[in-house]
Structure 1
Amino acid sequence: MEQQQLKRCPIGVQTFEKVIEGNYLYIDKTEYIYRMAHGASNYYFLSRPRRFGKSLLVSTLHSYFAGKKELFKGLAIEKLETEWTEYPVLYFDMSRAKHVDKETLESMLGFQLSGYEQIYGRPKEAVKLNDRMTSLIMRACEQTGRQVVVLIDEYDAPLLDVMHEEENLPVLRNVMRNFYSPLKSCDPYLRFVFLTGITKFSQLSIFSELNNIKNISMDEPYAAICGITKEEMLEQMGGYIERFALSQEMSKEDTLLKLQEKYDGYHFAWPSPDIFNPFSLLNAFEDGKLNSYWFGSGTPTYLIEMLRKFKVSPSAIGMKKALSTSFDAPTERMTTIVPLLYQSGYITIKNYDKLTQLYTLDIPNGEIRVGLMQSLLPNYLAGDSDTGLATIGEMYGAIAGDDMDGALRLLQEFLSTVPYCDNTNYEGHYQQLFYIIFSLFGMYVDVEVRTPKGRVDVVMRTTHTLYVIELKLDKSADSALAQINLKNYPERFVLCGLPVVKVGINFDSESHTLSDWIIEG
């Protein structure tokens, strides 16, 4: 009975009108709509990761500026807005233009323009995209007697897949710059302009002289404009939490902890409330399962390509300090992977130091950490990741049962059967492999951990044991353990409250697997 009383979760529904009229669950974000519509600026840009509610936000703006007051009954904006003026709205969805060349992109942009030109007309002399856009805005304003609203969703979609291609990126970028250029010259005819995207391309290269656009991506008042805060979840989704707790046979408190570990942890400003990934959270409530929905919906190929281009090791993705200019930066001029990782949602803000103006960035939650490691695993297992994941699952069972010896035997057997993997003749390769494996366990893991007398190769913590692991290549497990004892690495962790287990491991460069190991409690 309780399940029938709950509204359906809007899985894949990105149209505000459909959400409201279809009686789907809607997390009320209309206060932000009112704030923008009546703010000091008429031009806004918002960057958020994919599937974070940007399209639904744009659709909500569309309904608001179209004067559809009846759709907003019972929402926050109903008490705020008094005029409900209907404006001509031009909406462009750039997500349709993915994986395209110059000619196809121009054709698709022209097709979107033609839909509005059938309403407002098109002069014969308007042939180029920028001329057609200019004419369209001016005609819409003149014919309706009201300024025009322009909404552009996923403005950077045509560019993401060619971000790593030095030849194609400038070509498509010029097309988009040409298309967007009238937004500056048509200022007298425009009431409101709003663009969303994942990445932040420089204003110079994309928006031409559109230097009056307000980037609210890191503004504290708009920190929760997309996504679902814990407060929103508790106030508006209580029934879903209770239903989910029943399906998991857990208490409400334990359920909240699990949901937070898996899907929470995003911050797009500081201070900011904790923000849940809306796509994953809604899917989990709908299915009654703690699956990896956001990451499972597709790992962008451009991310993996850029990680390779910048030679980023798995353990180097999270936990770093940076100025905002280093990560909230134009992606086409980036010198590190950090801006792309942040703007794509693979790392997020975790803290901020006012004195140094440094932000602490890290992987948001368990879903992202595990998903990233699964995507990077083929680079360390010569592509045989399916069998590798099964082996890692067995290793997890062994370590959970305090059987590190059994876990290492499983890894030894598996590595001896996979094809030769490039770049395995150095200790760092195996260090990163261990980092990925332990990350997939969902356990705490770190590499190159500083101690008073040196650095530990790998530290891994389960719920009841802390493992200090030293790796050697073409030496011996004895020498690995001797280094742990000589530099007294366990002393660094004596206050952790867990028993410390020392593990010395030696790898053989010819067989590309573990040759021997020693475990001491």
Structure 2
Amino acid sequence: MNIFCSFVKNRIEMENLRRYPIGIQTFSEIRKSNYLYIDKTEYVYWMVHFTKYVFLSRPRRFGKSLLTSTLHSYFSGQKELFQGLAIEKLEKEWTEYPVLHFDMSTAKHADCEQLLQELNMKLIRYEEVYGKMEGEVNPNQRLEGLIKRAYEQTGKQVVVLIDEYDAPLLDVVHEEERLGVLRNIMRNFYSPLKACDPYLRYVFLTGITKFSQLSIFSELNNIKNISMNESYAAICGITENEILVQMKDDVDALAQKLEVTSEEVLAKLKENYDGYHFTYPSPDIYNPFSLLNAFADGKFNSYWFGSGTPTYLIKMLDKFGVAPSEIGRKTAVAEDFDAPTERMVSITPLLYQSGYITIKDYDKELDLYTLDIPNKEVRIGLMKSLLPNYVASKTPETNTMVAYLSRDIRNDDMDAALRRLQTFLSTIPQCDNTKYEGHYQQMFYIIFSLLGYYVDVEVRTASGRVDMVLRTKTTLYVMELKLDKSADRAMEQIDLKNYPKRFALCGLPIVKVAVSFDSEQCTIGEWKILKV
């Protein structure tokens, strides 16, 4: 009897669980199957009524495909799917238009022949509906023919939706020759979008990166880029207000499962998944993929970064010679980061448009934006991806070391932490370029960043620069690093330049740490630790 009652109780609880649309990007499926949907339809209404050609850039897994699917349902006249949503009260006329919807994410990792095959398959799907003229051979000819025939056969202007327009180009953005070939194919495919203007009701494109209009959209110079438009700041992602209003029960349920308060859950969600701003001012934007996964799993994990680090990012960091500590903390004008990626002279546009750095502040007087890594999930994910460039170790060994190291630092035992690092570094294969001090500085920066604490390098003081500053909840460590020189000499420099004075008002005990690296052994040689 007890077993049966327990079974019934569990069954009822499962049926009452919130359904999270993990990996589901089709608006109609979410609505018909009663999945959680954060209402973005007010943005849809204003977007389709006041602009005809629209481009939106957002990082991967930020809801671009769901937004495109929402537009598809809207322009297909599926009014029943929008019952209870904001647009139901705004829209007075529900008109069905012919919709050509192209998802270019299926054309990733494609060479020239494969890309043409992908375009062929996408066009065939609609040619089976609207037909094909014998002389239409190239992708642009076939797209133009489709638009005109759809218009003629239905008597309605045509809607063209292109999701992830840049997907075929992202993996080769660092290879100029291959990029040029694939870019020409896509430019050819998109070229009819201006010539067909009389036949078009609406054109919407999404992507991660921003390629120049010249290189991709040919003469389509009337497209409206709303990526940094304040009115659409929250069109993708989930805002803090949306969590508090539309997901309050979810927060409470997660708090109950973790046996903490709802306030503690909100703080943890904010620390891990918040921090995105795509214009200024902007509400706080949470990564929707990570947020929904955390609620679905009932725990905090690295979801967005765990879903795949693009290889092109790592290659471009190497191409531009960007050290791990240089990824965040930038100031720039908008043209320096909201810029075409194929003409970029720094890594900043790619980092910003891919979601690895985001807007944190804006100086209106100077027209300067402050950019930094959004949150803990991204910072730790980035450092894990970059660590193999400094420590050629197997992942399980590194993860185990970091876990124990975290406990050492949490216990304020820097001596044990350095001893652990010394042993770890002496028992693993070493990477190249270990004969200069900067290598070890960046390696320490990555390792300490993995612990989730604040860490910075080359911190300015009145008399010089501190090699590294590590701040935990209980202690601030001022660290000087030397290569093939004694720890005593490193400590002398700390004292001579009185580095601790710079941090006297930090409110934490200050500890001086002098570390000497042995370039022959490729590990820590000796160290000294003194409390101020």
Task: Please give the TM-score of this superposition, normalised by the length of structure 1.
Answer: 0.99
Gaps of 5+ in 1: none
Aligned to 1:277: 287
Q: Map residues 118-129 of structure 1 onto 2, 5 A cutoff.
A: 118-129=128-139
Partner residue, 2:142? 132
Question: How far 1:308 sits from its partner (Å)?
Answer: 0.7
Aligned with 1:37 (options 25, 48, 69): 48
In the TM superposition, residue 391 of structure 1 has moved relative to its aligned partner by: 1.0
Shift of 1:2: 6.8
Aligned residues: 520
SS at match of 2:360: strand
Inter-partner Cα distance in structure 1 for 2:508 and 2:202: 58
Displacement of 1:421: 1.7
Query: CA–CA distance in 1 between the matches of 2:394 and 2:133?
Result: 59
Pairwise CA RMSD of aligned residues? 0.9
Pairing 1:361–2:371 present: yes
3-state SS of paired residue (2:135) = coil
Percent of paired sites with the same residue: 68
1:389 Cα deviation from its structure 2 partner: 2.4
Q: Given the alignment of the two structures, is residue 24 of structure 1 paired with residue 42 of structure 2, yes or no?
A: no
SS in 2 for 1:335: coil
In the alignment, the residues of structure 1 paired with residue 504 and residue 257 of structure 2 have an alpha-carbon distance, to the nearest angstrom, of 40
* CA displacement at 1:247 relative to structure 2: 1.8
Paired residues of 1:89 and 1:149 also in contact (CA < 8 A)? yes
Corresponding position of 1:425: 435
Q: Secondary structure at the match of 1:206?
A: coil
Deviation at 1:3, TM superposition (A): 6.5
What's 2:23 paired with? 12
Is the Cα contact below 8 Å between 1:6 and 1:240 reproduced in 2? Answer: no
1:242 is displaced (CA, Å) by 0.6
Q: Secondary structure at the match of 1:445?
A: strand
Take 1:366 and 1:121, find their aligned partners in 2: how far apart are those partners?
A: 51
**Aligned counterpart, 1:291:** 301
Distance 2:393 2:62 in 1: 31
Question: Is the 1:102–1:172 Cα contact (8 Å) retained in structure 2?
Answer: yes
Cα distance in 2 for residues equivalent to 1:225 and 1:420:
46
Matches within 5 A, 1:295-314: 295-314=305-324
Question: CA-to-partner distance for each residue in 1:209-253, whole Å, 9 max, x for gaps?
Answer: 000000000000000000000000111011110111112211111
CA contact (8 A) 2:401 2:424 kept: yes
Shift of 1:7: 2.8
- Is the counterpart of residue 247 in structure 1 residue 261 in structure 2? no
1:17-46 CA-partner distances (Å, limit 9, x unpaired): 00000100000000011001111x200000
Q: Does 1:375 align with 2:375?
A: no
Residue 6 of structure 2: aligned partner: none
Shift of 1:395: 1.0
Alpha-carbon distance in structure 1 between the residues aligned to 2:477 and 2:281: 35
1:107: how far off? 1.2
- Specify the alignment match of 1:476 in structure 2: 486
8 Å contact from structure 1 (residues 377, 385) kept in 2: no
SS in structure 2 at match of 1:496: coil
How far residue 104 of structure 1 moved from its aligned partner, in angstroms, is 1.1
Do structure 1's residue 492 and structure 2's residue 492 form an aligned pair? no
Partner of 1:172: 182
TM-score scaled by length of structure 2: 0.97
Matched-pair contact (CA < 8 Å) for 1:3–1:243: no
Provide the rounded CA distance (Å) in 2 between the counterparts of 1:246 and 1:436.
Answer: 34
Alpha-carbon distance in 1 for matches of 2:439, 2:399: 18
Given the alignment, which residue of 334, 338, 341 partners 1:324? 334
| Structure 2 residue identity aligned to 1:181 | S
Q: Name the structure 2 match of 1:390.
A: 400
Query: Which residue number in structure 2 is paired with residue 201 of structure 1?
Result: 211
Task: Indicate yes or no: 2:526 matched with 1:516.
Answer: yes
1:399-414 superposed matches below 5 A:
399-414=409-424
- SS of residue matched to 2:304: helix
CA deviation profile, 1:238-297 (whole Å, cap 9, x unmatched):
111011111221111111000000000000010000000000000000000100000000
The answer as to whether partners of 1:431 and 1:457 remain within 8 angstroms in 2 is yes
Query: CA 1:385–1:457 in structure 2 vs 1: closer, same or farther (change >3 Å)?
Result: farther
Judging changes above 3 Å, is the alpha-carbon distance between structure 1 residues 235 and 290 closer, same or farther for their aligned structure 2 residues? Answer: same
Query: Within the alignment, does 1:212 sit opposite 2:222 as a pair?
Result: yes
Deviations 1:167-193 (A, max 9, x none): 210000000000000001000000000
Separation in 1 of the partners of 2:502 and 2:229? 40
CA–CA separation in structure 2 for the residues paired with 1:434 and 1:166:
34
Q: Distance in 1 between matches of 2:175 and 2:396?
A: 30
Contact 2:390 2:430 in 1 (8 A): no
Structure 2: any 5+ residue segments left out of the alignment?
A: 1-11
Once residues 368 and 396 of structure 2 are traced to their aligned partners in structure 1, the CA distance between those partners, rounded to angstroms, is 40
For residues 440-486 of structure 1, the C-alpha deviation after alignment (integer angstroms, 9 at most, x for no partner) is: 01001000000001000000011010000000011100000010011
